[in-house]
């Protein structure tokens, strides 16, 4: 449930209620909005049955939150969350572009890509060092060596870096090298991993599972938030449907649905959603129009020789053209680049 305070409620009254909630063994999360303060309550609310909170000074109303996810729920936190990754802000009226190779393949490949995407206006470098591949015989990533290249690329370009983590060992190595941890689609419901990335306190990019509902996705975010880590960015990357013309089906409606249900920023990954380079531009435009807070686009110095996801990766020229093409759409949506 949430406790909505009257406009201008005093800090004293807010803290008194918070203490009362905590004294009853529940958690209280205060969200200071522009107009009103909301206290979100997590735990067994029957314990508060006899407290008659509605009669407290400066309490406006008590609203039940029926959804199973609470901390990621917009009712708990009506203002949009802005997640800081290095010096880049994601959410609110910012529009952020992530780009880089599917997999880190070599130092040269990554550094060249980092410089090229920076020049084209990208804000964050992506690169996979631990690759969860469908086949065990496909390239699995450079692992810790790849992380070192990510760190080097960050030092050379100043771009914050994000890398997917697939295990506790990967998390332990990644926290020393990257600014943001990515949970890939295949691990969206690996609850142990979600708790562990939550504990790091680093910003987390949480991709939607291949067959996950929006409710399941927000509950996955809840696992991270419940560890005391508020820095979660959602990424719609297409879901599995009967359609085979594209690798996945980009669920563009997930963007407005998330915007209605959650305060967390959401970006769109048209590369994995389509699997086809030629569709990246139109899908990027639709993501912007739907209200996305950013994009994740795969790029490679030579897509035809990429060790993974070459067919969906853009060349540097194509990426530069894309960022140029998208500018008017981003401005039209009232977002800052
Ligand atoms: C990726 O971004 O490298 C990736 C593997 O994507 P997804 O988890 O969305 O398949
Ligand atoms: Mn990929």
* Partners of 5 in the β-ladder: 59
The count of C-alpha atoms lying within 13 angstroms of the C-alpha of 205, restricted to the half-sphere facing its C-beta, is 34
Using CA positions, which residue lies closest to atom 10 of ligand 1? 185
For residue 162, give the nearest of 207, 227, 229, 106 by alpha carbon.
207
Does the beta carbon of 142 sit less than 6 angstroms from any atom of ligand 1? no
For residues 292 and 236, state if they share a domain.
Answer: yes
Does the beta carbon of 307 sit less than 6 angstroms from any atom of ligand 1? no
CA–CA gap between residue 167 and residue 193 (Å, rounded):
7
Q: Is the dihedral of CA 132, 164, 225, 266 positive or negative?
A: negative
Q: What is the pTM of this model?
A: 0.96
For residues 247 and 301, state if they share a domain.
Answer: yes
Q: Which two tokens stand for residue 127?
A: 């690169």
For residues 165 and 238, state if they share a domain.
Answer: yes
For residues 284 and 212, state if they share a domain.
Answer: yes
Does the beta carbon of 263 sit less than 6 angstroms from any atom of ligand 1? no
Q: CB-based contacts of 15: which residues, under 8 Å, 6+ apart?
A: none
Q: How much is the CA Rg of the chain, to the nearest whole Å?
A: 21
Residue numbers of the domain that contains 205: 83-332
Using CA positions, which residue lies closest to atom 6 of ligand 1? 184
**Which mutation among 162, 182, 189 tests ligand 1's pocket best, with the greatest number of atoms within 8 A of CB?**
182
Find the angle CA(101)-CA(103)-CA(108) to the nearest 5 degrees: 70
Residue 76 lies in a domain: no
The phi, psi pair for 207, rounded to 5°, reads -80, 150
Residue 303 lies in a domain: yes
* Partners of 39 in the β-ladder: 3, 30
Overall number of domains in the chain: 2
Does the beta carbon of 272 sit less than 6 angstroms from any atom of ligand 1? yes
Ligand number with the minimum distance to the CA of 275: 2
Does the beta carbon of 102 sit less than 6 angstroms from any atom of ligand 1? yes
Using CA positions, which residue lies closest to atom 9 of ligand 1? 185
CA distances from 91 to 48, 74, 112 (A): 34, 14, 28
Residue 315 lies in a domain: yes
Q: Is 178 left (phi over 0), alpha (psi -120 to 50) or beta?
A: beta
For residue 40, give the nearest of 57, 55, 67, 50 by alpha carbon.
67
Residue 160 lies in a domain: yes
For residues 51 and 87, state if they share a domain.
Answer: no
CA–CA gap between residue 293 and residue 88 (Å, rounded):
12
CA–CA gap between residue 70 and residue 77 (Å, rounded):
9
> Which residue reads 């249900």 in tokens?
261
Residue 70 lies in a domain: no
From the CA of 311, how far away is ligand 2's center (Å)?
Answer: 10
From the CA of 323, how far away is ligand 1's center (Å)?
Answer: 21
* Partners of 94 in the β-ladder: 336
Q: What is the pLDDT along the chain (337 residues), one digit of tens a residue?
A: 999 999 999 999 999 999 999 999 999 999 998 889 999 999 988 999 888 898 888 999 999 999 999 999 999 999 999 999 999 999 999 999 999 999 999 999 999 999 999 999 999 999 999 999 999 999 999 999 999 999 999 999 999 999 999 999 999 999 999 999 999 999 999 999 999 999 999 999 999 999 999 999 999 999 999 999 999 999 999 999 999 999 999 999 999 999 999 999 999 999 999 999 999 999 999 999 999 999 999 999 999 999 999 999 999 999 999 999 999 999 999 999 9
Does the beta carbon of 300 sit less than 6 angstroms from any atom of ligand 1? no
């Amino acid at each position: 449930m949430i406790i909505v305070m009257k406009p201008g409620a005093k800090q004293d009254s807010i803290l008194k209620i918070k203490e009362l909630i905590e004294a009853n063994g529940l958690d209280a999360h205060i969200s200071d909005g522009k107009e009103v303060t909301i206290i979100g309550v997590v735990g067994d609310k029957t314990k508060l049955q006899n407290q008659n909170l509605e009669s407290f000074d400066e309490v406006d109303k008590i609203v039940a939150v029926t959804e199973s996810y609470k901390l990621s729920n917009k009712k708990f936190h009506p203002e949009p969350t802005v997640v800081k990754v290095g010096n880049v802000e994601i959410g609110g009226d910012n529009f952020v572009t992530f780009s880089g190779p599917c997999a880190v393949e070599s130092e040269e490949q990554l550094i060249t890509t980092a410089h090229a995407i920076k020049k084209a206006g990208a804000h964050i470098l992506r690169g996979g060092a631990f690759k969860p591949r469908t086949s065990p015989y496909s390239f699995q990533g450079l692992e810790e060596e790849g992380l070192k290249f990510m760190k080097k690329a960050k030092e050379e370009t100043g771009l914050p870096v994000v890398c997917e983590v697939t295990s506790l060992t990967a998390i332990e190595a990644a926290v020393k090298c990257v600014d943001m941890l990515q949970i890939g689609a295949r691990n969206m419901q690996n609850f142990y991993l979600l708790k562990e990335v939550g504990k790091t306190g680093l910003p987390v990019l949480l991709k939607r599972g291949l067959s996950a509902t929006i409710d399941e996705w927000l509950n996955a975010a809840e696992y991270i938030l419940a560890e005391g880590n508020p820095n979660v960015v959602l990424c719609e990357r297409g879901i599995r449907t009967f359609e085979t013309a594209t690798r996945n089906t980009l669920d563009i409606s997930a963007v407005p649905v998330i915007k209605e249900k959650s305060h967390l920023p959401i970006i769109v990954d048209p590369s994995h959603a389509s699997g086809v380079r030629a569709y990246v531009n139109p899908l990027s435009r639709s993501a912007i129009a739907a209200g996305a807070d950013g994009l994740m686009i795969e790029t490679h110095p030579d897509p035809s020789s990429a060790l993974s996801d070459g067919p969906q990766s853009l060349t540097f020229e194509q990426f530069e053209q894309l960022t140029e093409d998208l500018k008017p759409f981003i401005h039209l949506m009232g977002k800052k680049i």
